[in-house]
């Protein structure tokens, strides 16, 4: 069992991650802006108020943890800097507390690669018209990890569009690319959380960007 620091624990994916981690017997430190928003109660859950713009704040809460999982999500589609700015603080705090394992959630299509085009909806509608700023900032974060954090065992997980519902036991396909061919363009947040936890238990995905999906 591990002690996990979870960022974005009140988000729609983070809530599932906290619940599933507790179900598996892990200790969880949920680092949130507003602790009162966490409604889950468990003897292995510690809810703390943390500031993702402060290395000192995160360092305090990372102490004694085995891994960090980020489900942070931008609250805007314009002028997005959350991912690129927070990752530097997270990495600095991890280094100061000697934590090596990081799993962070991004998205299908975070990179625009002409040699790895995703589904039409993402490449030609959502990316240019809706999610351009979010995806580009996710790409900055992923590039930072690849170029500046080789001392860490990081994994970025790229799910497709997200939807609500209870977790399933469906097989989760994964590929080291921008998307997963032959899978649905949406996925349950609870199943994404299930894969995030899986990444903590293996070295298979260390220092990789992993797209995931489920068969339609």
Q: What is the pLDDT of residue 130?
A: 66
Structure tokens that stand for 50 in this block: 């943390």
Counted domains in the chain:
1
Q: What is the pLDDT of residue 116?
A: 81
d(CA 108, CA 179): 5
Domain hosting 116: range is 3-213
Residue 115's contacts (CB-CB under 8 Å, 6 or more residues apart) are none
Q: How many CA atoms lie within 13 A of 54 on its CB side?
A: 11
**DSSP character string of 106-118:** --TTSS--TTS--
Distances (CA, A) of 106 to 36, 42, 56, 156, 179: 26, 28, 25, 6, 12
Q: What is the pLDDT of residue 38?
A: 93
Q: What is the CATH number of the domain that holds 196?
A: 3.40.50.720
Q: What is the pLDDT of residue 128?
A: 66
Mean pLDDT in runs of 10 for the chain (216 residues)?
97 97 98 93 97 97 98 81 97 98 95 78 70 91 97 98 95 95 95 98 96 94
């Amino acid at each position: 069992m591990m002690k996990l620091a979870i960022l974005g624990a009140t988000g729609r994916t983070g809530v599932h991650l906290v619940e599933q981690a507790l179900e598996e017997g892990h200790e969880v430190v949920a680092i949130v802006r507003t602790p009162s928003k966490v409604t889950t109660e468990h003897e292995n859950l510690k809810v703390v108020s943390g500031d993702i713009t402060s290395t000192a704040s995160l360092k305090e809460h990372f102490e004694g943890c085995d891994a960090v999982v980020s489900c942070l999500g931008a609250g805007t589609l314009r002028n997005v800097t959350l991912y690129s700015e927070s990752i530097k603080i997270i990495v600095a705090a991890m280094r100061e507390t000697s934590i090596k394992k990081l799993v962070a959630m991004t998205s299908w299509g975070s990179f625009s690669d002409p040699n790895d085009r995703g589904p039409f909806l993402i490449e030609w509608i959502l990316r240019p018209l809706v999610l351009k700023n979010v995806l580009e900032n996710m790409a900055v974060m992923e590039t930072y990890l690849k170029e500046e954090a080789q001392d860490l065992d990081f994994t970025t997980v790229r799910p497709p569009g997200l939807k609500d519902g209870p977790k399933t036991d469906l097989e989760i396909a994964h590929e080291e690319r921008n998307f997963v061919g032959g899978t649905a363009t949406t996925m349950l947040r609870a199943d994404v959380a299930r894969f995030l936890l899986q990444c903590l238990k293996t070295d298979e995905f260390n220092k990789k960007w992993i797209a995931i999906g489920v068969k339609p």
